[in-house]
């Protein structure tokens, strides 16, 4: 059963967090976008992932470590983390809605994990038996601390969702072991792949054990001292507080920033927020895809330089977009500033969600923004971080709609739903009726148990223009500035209603002139959704060879039977004359003016590659402006 404590990042008692979470279990989604995905996660994704965890030896490794099976360790040395992330996904699913099958599977896996723990508390199935002597010998590369961090997260999430302590106890024992090993006066150390920082903070939040918080702080402070080699790749080239920009391995960079944001919310140390703010600006102003994806380079799975954002050669790992989303969620909790919700939303609906197929069982690791038709989602990967990450993000959605603060209730994401939010000593029921993200009209029914004065903060997305709000039919705000929260403070009573109207015109975007990869081309967004053109929507044409007629009217069309229900966009376009290009690399403008006028149809980027394979591009050429 879901408990009211099933928060992903529990800032309830964090002194320096502006916002406090509303648990997953408090929000019931009834929309056409997320609710089916949550159901699919329970019914398809989690069970099939469990099969693959078994099939690929990931669970065998735990039984082997427990002495129940024999043979060699299977797979990659960080594969334990996938099991922990799957548990975390199960926890969020269970917090949202009870599912006996998922809970039984998870309980069984937890039993296997618990049995594998070494009597001294250590737990990593790779470093068992003959490898035991090599524990902690290579923090830079071997991911023991990373796996531990995921264990902590999974354990905390499962405890919050089910009330069951077994995995939490395992986590606590391992955390104690790590705390006894590393720290001032003990061994130096920091992870080559961050994750444990936020894991330890969350474990602290769940258990109240200050040592875990201190240990997380210690590991953050160890960076930049060369303990793990001093490379940019590892964000070890400078002390955290001095990092000038987002660099190196993108997921590591984002996870590290998550940990630092968590630490900030506990300690309030300004230097941490200053560094985070600096990196956030560098990322959002120079190193982030229009999808919210990050990590432009295949080489090192890394952030590129400023404005280095190739499309076909984009790396933009699914985990990178997810990590970007969860970092921004933390920044939002810390500050209550809407710009972080923008990036959270952007990276969630686009860069992250593209990582999973509509069938709930195929995944992208790499997310190019253009394809010649050969890039497809896979059932699994040797390094399977992305599949087990997307379930965590989707699972968190119910907990991402609202937060609270002393002043009232904050709405961040919009989706048809019923929420029962604990606030001011009572429960406030908020019913959202909306077709968001396909339409920007959101109606709220506000039902406090008893009338009371408090604020409702409505997010006015940074991408919007001309949003307006009315309460009980009366205009409350006209042309609200985008990129903020509109505060409705009043005495709320049962029967009150709010209407938020966020216009969602189709917009063509251009990139900063320094972005060479997209100069002279256009990307289409509507509301929070980034679009792309695929050949399958365009008579199998090579969409790389198409141009949109800029300024021509764009038709929006709700297609309930297409790709789970989407709004498609159509406008006038031109398709290059393939004949003209036969055996030619360059042609004069005059030679290409012909082409074929045709309707150009775009569909959401997150849904691409779910039908007939073919070329795709987010950035299209334009004519006429």
List the catalytic residues: 301, 385
Secondary structure class of 473 (helix, strand, coil): coil
What x/- string results for residues 262 through 301 when contact with a copy of itself is judged by CB under 8 A? -------------------x--xxx-x-x-----------
Q: Name 257's Cβ contacts closer than 8 Å, sequence gap at least 6.
A: 246, 276, 279, 327
End-to-end Cα spacing for the chain? 56
CA-based max dimension of the chain = 77
Instruction: Indicate which single residue of 232, 441, 542, 552 sits in contact with a copy of itself (rule: CB under 8 A).
Output: 542
337-341 long-range Cβ contacts below 8 angstroms, 24+ apart? 338/459, 338/460, 338/461, 338/462, 338/483, 338/484, 338/485, 339/284, 339/462, 339/483, 340/280, 341/412, 341/413, 341/459, 341/461
Q: Is 164 in the site for a copy of itself (CB under 8 A)?
A: no
Which range of residues in 111-119, 357-365, 492-500, 579-587 is near a copy of itself by CB under 8 A?
579-587
Taking the least distance from each CB to a copy of itself, the nearer of 499 and 521 is 521
Cα within 13 Å of Cα(396), Cβ side: 29
Q: Which is nearer to a copy of itself, 266 or 338 (CB)?
A: 338
Q: Among residues 291 and 335, whose Cβ is nearest to a copy of itself?
A: 291
- Does residue 162 touch a copy of itself according to CB under 8 A? no
State the minimum distance, in angstroms, from the CB of residue 302 to a copy of itself. 15
Stretch that binds a copy of itself, among 33-41, 77-85, 310-318, 420-428 (CB under 8 A): 310-318
Stretch near a copy of itself under the rule CB under 8 A, chosen from 190-198, 244-252, 439-447, 578-586: 578-586
Q: Which is nearer to a copy of itself, 185 or 586 (CB)?
A: 586
* Single residue of 98, 166, 278, 507 touching a copy of itself by CB under 8 A: 507
Phi-psi region of 79 (alpha: psi -120 to 50; beta: other; left: phi over 0): alpha
How many chain residues are in contact with a copy of itself, going by CB under 8 A?
51
Strand partners, 534: 616
Q: Taking the C-alpha atoms of 15, 17, 19 and 25 in order, what is their torsion angle to the nearest 10 degrees?
A: -80
- For residue 341, the minimal CB distance to a copy of itself (Å) is 17
Which of 414, 522 has the CB closer to a copy of itself? 522
What's the min distance (Å) between Cβ of 329 and a copy of itself? 20
Query: Is the CB of 501 or the CB of 542 nearer to a copy of itself?
Result: 542
Please choose, out of 7-15, 218-226, 256-264, 308-316, the segment that lies near a copy of itself by the rule CB under 8 A: 308-316
Residues 6+ apart with CB under 8 A from 375: 364, 366, 368, 609
Beta-carbon contacts of 243 under 8 Å, excluding residues fewer than 6 positions away, are: 235, 275, 278, 279
Q: Using CB under 8 A, which of 181, 267, 568, 592 touches a copy of itself?
A: 592
- Rounded-to-integer distance, Cα 571 and Cα 482, Å: 27
Of 240 and 307, CB closest to a copy of itself: 307
Task: Give dist(CA 37, CA 18) in Å, integer.
Answer: 30
The reply to whether 544 sits near a copy of itself by the rule CB under 8 A is: yes
User: Would you say 418 or 556 has its CB closer to a copy of itself?
Assistant: 556
CB 568 within 8 A of CB 601: yes
Pairing relation of β-strands 408-411 and 452-460?
A: parallel
Quick check: 569 and 526 in contact, CB under 8 A?
yes
Near a copy of itself in 345-374, by CB under 8 A: 370, 372
Kindly list the strands in the beta sheet with 441-448, ordered across the sheet, starting from the edge strand earlier in the chain: 27-29, 417-423, 426-434, 441-448, 496-501, 467-471, 474-480
Core vs surface per residue 173-184: b (16+ CB within 10 A) or e = bbbbbbbebbbe
Of 484 and 565, nearer to a copy of itself (C-beta) is 484
Q: Which of 248, 576, 602, 605 binds a copy of itself (CB under 8 A)?
A: 576
Closest Cα partner for 263 from 210, 199, 201?
201
Q: Least distance from C-beta 375 to a copy of itself, angstroms?
A: 14
| Using rule CB under 8 A, residue 522 touches a copy of itself | yes
Asked if 245 interacts with a copy of itself (CB under 8 A), we say no
Kindly tell me which residue out of 17, 201, 523, 618 binds a copy of itself, with binding defined by CB under 8 A: 523
- The answer to whether 581 contacts a copy of itself (rule: CB under 8 A) is yes
- DSSP annotation string for 100-150: HHHHHHHHHHHHHHHHHS-TTS---SSS-GGGGGGTTS-TTTS-HHHHHHH
Structure token pair of residue 239: 């002390």
Rule CB under 8 A: choose which of 120, 406, 516, 559 binds a copy of itself.
Answer: 516
Tell me if the bond preceding 621 is cis, omega within 30° of 0.
Answer: no
Among the listed ranges 135-143, 388-396, 603-611, 614-622, the one in contact with a copy of itself (CB under 8 A) is: 614-622
Choices 157-165, 257-265, 329-337, 576-584 (CB under 8 A): range interacting with a copy of itself? 576-584
Token reading at 276 = 């985070």
Taking CB under 8 A as the criterion, the residue among 30, 514, 558, 597 binding a copy of itself is 514
479 scored as a contact of a copy of itself (CB under 8 A): no
Binding a copy of itself (rule: CB under 8 A), the pick from 180, 431, 510, 613 is 510
d(CA 309, CA 510): 13
Closest distance of CB 576 from a copy of itself, Å: 6
Q: Which of 260, 319, 419, 508 binds a copy of itself (CB under 8 A)?
A: 508
Among 100, 185, 382, 513, binds a copy of itself (CB under 8 A): 513
User: Pick from 545, 554, 567, 600: which binds a copy of itself (CB under 8 A)?
Assistant: 545
Residues that bind a copy of itself (CB under 8 A): 281, 284-286, 288, 290, 310-312, 370, 372, 507-517, 519-523, 542, 544-547, 550, 576, 581, 583-590, 592-593, 619, 621-625
């Amino acid at each position: 059963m879901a408990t009211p404590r099933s928060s992903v990042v529990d800032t309830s008692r964090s002194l320096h967090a502006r916002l406090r979470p509303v648990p997953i279990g408090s929000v019931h989604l009834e929309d056409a976008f997320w609710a089916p995905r949550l159901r699919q996660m329970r019914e398809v994704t989690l069970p099939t992932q469990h099969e693959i965890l078994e099939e690929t030896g990931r669970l065998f490794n735990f039984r082997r470590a427990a002495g129940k099976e024999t043979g060699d360790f299977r797979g990659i040395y960080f594969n334990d983390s996938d099991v922990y992330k799957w548990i975390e996904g199960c926890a969020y699913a269970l917090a949202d809605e009870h599912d006996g099958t998922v809970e039984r599977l998870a309980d069984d896996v937890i039993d296997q994990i618990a049995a594998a723990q070494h009597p001294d508390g250590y737990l990593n199935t790779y470093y068992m038996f003959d490898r035991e002597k090599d524990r902690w010998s290579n923090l830079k590369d071997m991911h023991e601390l990373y796996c531990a961090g995921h264990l902590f997260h999974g354990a905390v999430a499962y405890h919050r969702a089910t009330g069951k302590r077994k995995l939490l106890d395992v986590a606590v024992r391992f955390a104690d072991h790590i705390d006894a090993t590393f720290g001032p006066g003990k061994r130096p150390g920091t992870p080559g792949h961050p994750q444990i920082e936020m894991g330890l903070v969350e474990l602290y939040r769940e258990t109240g054990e200050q040592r875990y918080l201190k240990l997380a702080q210690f590991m953050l402070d160890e960076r930049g001292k060369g303990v793990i080699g001093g490379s940019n790749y590892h964000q070890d080239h400078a002390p955290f507080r001095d990092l000038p920009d987002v660099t190196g391995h993108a997921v590591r960079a984002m996870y590290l920033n998550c940990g630092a944001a968590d630490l900030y919310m506990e300690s309030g140390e300004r230097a941490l927020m200053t560094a985070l703010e600096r990196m956030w600006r560098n990322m959002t102003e120079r190193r982030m895809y229009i999808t919210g994806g990050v990590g432009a380079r295949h080489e090192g799975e890394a952030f590129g330089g400023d404005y280095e954002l190739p499309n076909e050669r984009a790396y933009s790992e699914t985990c990178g977009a997810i990590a970007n989303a969860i970092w921004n969620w933390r920044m939002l909790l810390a500050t209550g500033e809407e710009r972080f919700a923008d990036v959270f939303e952007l990276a969630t609906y686009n860069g992250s969600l593209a990582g999973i197929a509509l069938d709930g069982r195929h995944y992208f690791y790499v997310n190019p923004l253009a394809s010649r038709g050969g890039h497809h989602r896979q059932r699994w990967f040797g390094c399977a971080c992305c599949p087990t990450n997307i379930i965590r993000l989707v699972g968190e959605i119910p907990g991402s709609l609202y937060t609270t603060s002393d002043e009232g209730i904050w709405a961040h994401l919009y989706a048809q739903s019923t929420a029962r939010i604990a606030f001011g000593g009572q429960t406030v029921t908020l019913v959202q009726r909306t077709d968001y993200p396909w339409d920007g009209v959101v109606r709220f029914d506000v039902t406090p148990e008893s009338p009371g004065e408090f604020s409702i903060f409505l997010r006015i997305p940074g991408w919007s223009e001309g949003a307006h709000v009315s309460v009980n039919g009366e205009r409350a705000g006209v042309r609200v500035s985008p990129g903020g929260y509109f505060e409705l403070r009043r005495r709320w009573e049962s029967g009150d209603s709010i209407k938020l109207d966020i216009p969602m015109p189709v917009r063509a975007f251009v990139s900063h002139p320094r972005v060479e990869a997209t100069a002279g081309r256009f990307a289409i967004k509507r509301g929070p959704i980034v679009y792309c053109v695929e050949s399958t929507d365009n008579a199998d044409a090579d969409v790389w060879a198409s141009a949109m007629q800029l300024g021509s009217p764009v038709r929006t069309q709700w297609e309930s039977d297409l790709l789970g229900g989407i709004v498609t966009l159509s406008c006038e376009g031109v398709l290059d004359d393939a004949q003209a290009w036969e055996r030619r690399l360059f042609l004069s403008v005059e030679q290409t003016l012909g082409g074929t006028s045709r309707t150009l149809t775009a569909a959401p980027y997150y849904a691409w590659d779910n039908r007939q394979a073919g070329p795709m591009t987010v950035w299209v050429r334009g004519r006429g402006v």
